[in-house]
Amino acid sequence: MARRAGAPGRSDRGVSELEKRIEIRWRDVDAYRHVNNAVYLTYLEEARDAWVEKVLGAVSENTWDFVLARVAIDYEAELRLDDGAVVVACRLESIGRSSVRTVEEVRKEDGTVSAKASAVVVARDPGSGRARPLTDAEREALEGELDA
Protein backbone atom coordinates (compact mmCIF):
# COMPACT_ATOMS: atom_id res chain seq x y z
CA MET A 1 0.00 0.00 0.00
CA ALA A 2 1.39 3.38 -0.97
CA ARG A 3 0.83 6.54 1.00
CA ARG A 4 1.14 10.24 0.35
CA ALA A 5 4.45 11.61 1.59
CA GLY A 6 3.99 12.97 5.08
CA ALA A 7 0.52 11.46 5.50
CA PRO A 8 -0.41 9.74 8.74
CA GLY A 9 -0.51 5.96 8.71
CA ARG A 10 1.99 3.32 7.77
CA SER A 11 5.62 4.32 7.90
CA ASP A 12 6.92 3.30 4.47
CA ARG A 13 10.68 2.96 4.83
CA GLY A 14 12.64 2.00 1.74
CA VAL A 15 15.35 -0.53 2.39
CA SER A 16 16.76 -0.85 -1.12
CA GLU A 17 19.57 1.70 -1.04
CA LEU A 18 21.76 2.85 -3.90
CA GLU A 19 25.31 3.92 -3.05
CA LYS A 20 27.49 5.96 -5.38
CA ARG A 21 31.16 6.75 -4.81
CA ILE A 22 32.09 10.28 -5.90
CA GLU A 23 35.61 11.71 -6.03
CA ILE A 24 36.06 15.01 -4.20
CA ARG A 25 37.29 17.41 -6.87
CA TRP A 26 39.61 20.37 -6.33
CA ARG A 27 36.86 22.69 -7.60
CA ASP A 28 34.55 21.41 -4.81
CA VAL A 29 36.74 23.04 -2.15
CA ASP A 30 36.30 26.66 -1.06
CA ALA A 31 38.60 29.23 0.54
CA TYR A 32 38.15 27.52 3.92
CA ARG A 33 39.70 24.38 2.38
CA HIS A 34 36.60 22.28 2.89
CA VAL A 35 33.92 21.14 0.46
CA ASN A 36 31.53 24.05 -0.04
CA ASN A 37 28.01 23.49 1.26
CA ALA A 38 26.47 24.02 -2.20
CA VAL A 39 28.53 21.14 -3.63
CA TYR A 40 26.63 18.71 -1.42
CA LEU A 41 23.58 19.38 -3.62
CA THR A 42 25.56 18.12 -6.62
CA TYR A 43 26.70 15.01 -4.77
CA LEU A 44 23.12 14.28 -3.71
CA GLU A 45 21.81 14.89 -7.23
CA GLU A 46 24.31 12.45 -8.73
CA ALA A 47 23.20 9.68 -6.36
CA ARG A 48 19.49 10.53 -6.71
CA ASP A 49 19.71 10.46 -10.51
CA ALA A 50 21.45 7.07 -10.37
CA TRP A 51 18.71 5.81 -8.01
CA VAL A 52 15.93 7.04 -10.34
CA GLU A 53 17.62 5.34 -13.30
CA LYS A 54 17.98 2.08 -11.33
CA VAL A 55 14.33 2.05 -10.28
CA LEU A 56 12.53 3.62 -13.26
CA GLY A 57 15.02 3.44 -16.12
CA ALA A 58 17.03 6.07 -17.95
CA VAL A 59 15.26 9.39 -18.41
CA SER A 60 14.17 9.82 -22.04
CA GLU A 61 11.10 10.97 -23.93
CA ASN A 62 9.52 7.56 -23.22
CA THR A 63 10.31 7.32 -19.51
CA TRP A 64 9.87 9.16 -16.26
CA ASP A 65 10.36 12.92 -16.39
CA PHE A 66 10.81 14.47 -12.96
CA VAL A 67 11.81 17.63 -11.15
CA LEU A 68 13.26 18.24 -7.71
CA ALA A 69 10.68 20.11 -5.63
CA ARG A 70 12.40 20.17 -2.24
CA VAL A 71 15.69 19.27 -0.61
CA ALA A 72 16.74 19.66 3.03
CA ILE A 73 20.28 19.06 4.27
CA ASP A 74 21.70 18.72 7.78
CA TYR A 75 25.47 19.10 7.75
CA GLU A 76 27.22 16.94 10.35
CA ALA A 77 30.95 16.80 9.56
CA GLU A 78 33.08 18.76 7.13
CA LEU A 79 34.62 17.21 4.05
CA ARG A 80 38.10 18.12 2.88
CA LEU A 81 39.97 17.40 -0.33
CA ASP A 82 42.17 15.01 1.69
CA ASP A 83 39.11 12.79 2.26
CA GLY A 84 39.49 11.75 -1.39
CA ALA A 85 35.95 10.61 -2.08
CA VAL A 86 32.49 10.31 -0.58
CA VAL A 87 29.87 7.60 -0.70
CA VAL A 88 26.40 9.02 -1.28
CA ALA A 89 23.42 6.84 -0.45
CA CYS A 90 19.83 7.29 -1.64
CA ARG A 91 16.72 5.29 -0.79
CA LEU A 92 12.98 5.71 -1.10
CA GLU A 93 11.13 6.81 2.01
CA SER A 94 7.55 7.28 0.79
CA ILE A 95 5.33 7.57 -2.28
CA GLY A 96 2.72 10.27 -2.88
CA ARG A 97 0.16 10.83 -5.65
CA SER A 98 2.65 12.55 -7.96
CA SER A 99 5.84 12.55 -5.91
CA VAL A 100 8.34 10.47 -4.00
CA ARG A 101 10.36 11.32 -0.93
CA THR A 102 13.93 10.07 -0.68
CA VAL A 103 16.35 9.90 2.23
CA GLU A 104 20.00 10.54 1.38
CA GLU A 105 23.37 10.54 3.14
CA VAL A 106 26.85 11.78 2.27
CA ARG A 107 29.50 9.70 4.03
CA LYS A 108 33.27 9.71 4.11
CA GLU A 109 34.81 6.46 2.96
CA ASP A 110 35.49 5.56 6.61
CA GLY A 111 31.71 5.67 7.22
CA THR A 112 31.58 9.05 9.00
CA VAL A 113 28.31 10.78 8.10
CA SER A 114 29.00 14.21 6.66
CA ALA A 115 25.42 15.15 5.80
CA LYS A 116 21.87 13.78 5.95
CA ALA A 117 19.26 14.94 3.47
CA SER A 118 15.74 14.37 2.28
CA ALA A 119 14.27 15.27 -1.08
CA VAL A 120 10.89 15.39 -2.79
CA VAL A 121 10.91 14.50 -6.47
CA VAL A 122 7.77 15.21 -8.54
CA ALA A 123 6.66 13.43 -11.71
CA ARG A 124 6.35 16.02 -14.47
CA ASP A 125 4.36 16.18 -17.68
CA PRO A 126 6.98 17.25 -20.25
CA GLY A 127 4.36 18.94 -22.43
CA SER A 128 2.83 21.17 -19.80
CA GLY A 129 5.72 21.28 -17.33
CA ARG A 130 3.23 20.59 -14.52
CA ALA A 131 3.05 17.80 -11.96
CA ARG A 132 1.21 14.67 -13.01
CA PRO A 133 0.08 11.56 -11.13
CA LEU A 134 2.43 8.59 -11.05
CA THR A 135 1.48 5.92 -13.58
CA ASP A 136 0.57 2.42 -12.44
CA ALA A 137 3.91 1.11 -13.79
CA GLU A 138 5.89 3.81 -11.95
CA ARG A 139 3.98 3.16 -8.73
CA GLU A 140 4.57 -0.60 -9.04
CA ALA A 141 8.32 -0.12 -9.55
CA LEU A 142 8.49 2.31 -6.62
CA GLU A 143 6.45 0.09 -4.31
CA GLY A 144 8.94 -2.67 -5.09
CA GLU A 145 11.60 -0.45 -3.52
CA LEU A 146 9.56 -0.11 -0.33
CA ASP A 147 9.14 -3.87 -0.13
CA ALA A 148 12.75 -4.71 -1.02
**CATH number of the domain where residue 90 is located:** 3.10.129.10
Q: Taken in order 25, 18, 59, 38, is the CA torsion positive or negative?
A: negative
Domain that holds residue 54: 17-147
* Structure letter (DSSP) for residue 39: H
Q: Say how far apart CA 57 and CA 37 lie, in whole Å.
A: 30
Residue 11 within a domain: no
55-82: per-residue pLDDT in tens? 888 766 666 789 999 999 999 999 999 9
Rounded CA separation 144/148 (Å): 6
Tell me the whole-structure pTM to 2 decimals.
0.85
Number of domains in the chain: 1
* The predicted structure's pLDDT at residue 62: 61
pLDDT at res. 58: 74
Output the average pLDDT for the chain: 87
Instruction: Give the distance, in angstroms, between the CA of residue 99 and the centroid of all CA atoms in the same chain.
Output: 12
Phi, then psi, of 3 in degrees rounded to 5:
-140, 155
Residue 56 covered by a domain? yes
